[in-house]
Amino acid sequence: MSVLELFDLRGKKALITGASSGIGRTVALAYAEAGAEVALAARHLDALEALAEEIAAAGGTAVPIACDVTRQDQVTAMVDRMTAELGGIDIAVCNAGIVSVTPMLDMSLEEFERIQHTNVTGVFLTAQAAARAMVAQGRGGSIITTASMSGHIINIPQQVGHYCTSKAAVIHLTKAMAVEFAPHHIRVNSISPGYIMTELVEPLAEYHRLWEPKIPMGRIGRPEELNGLYLYLASAASSYMTGSDLVIDGGYCLP
């Protein structure tokens, strides 16, 4: 197999949560371009349908599925529908996530739990459902979680302690799943982006000028700059990698 063939996703079936915008949308487009048939999941069906039409216009196959990843019944139905319509699942990108800026002294229990429920429980439910389907198929697969550099450091000056907590949990959850799922030939890895210009980051414009001097590369990243990592972990090119967390942050965590 040639090195380029290692990255080929033709014949693969990929699920991407949080696909209506940001990183999820960009990864879905990249996977479709690499040949995968994709299931697009998020709460906003209209955005998913528009993305599915864009992928179809380029010659790809996409199934939009409305899903709240904090609801186990909806997650189960999402994976069931994907496997029925696409004929299986080989890749699952557990990407759905939220953030808010609130000092911990002012934070309500409800807000803390809301962040954990989407960012941690949602990842667990999605990965569990995907892994169960992969085990039933008997051909293994790859699960990729979207963590964050915030799982390694504490962001400043914005106060997002609940978000940092959730992403640290995702990294360790990923490692635990990697160990448990390995006998089933299912690899589980996480990607920890730094500041990436998505719909979550754009509204925080007051902080952009404060972040950039602390980034050795001097700028905020673009969603498409993550595609290489997501493709690597989804493909045969990473066949011996599991339980790893790959940081891509322009060097922010280095100093």
| Catalytic residue numbers, as ranges | 148, 163, 167
CA distance 38 to 231: 13
Strand order in the sheet with 37-42: 62-66, 37-42, 13-17, 91-94, 141-146, 186-193, 245-248
CA distance 148 to 151: 5
- Contact by Cβ (8 Å): 189, 227: no
Give residue for tokens 């008997």.
138
Query: What are the distances in angstroms from CA 90 to CA 137, 142, 143, 191, 252?
Result: 9, 6, 8, 18, 33
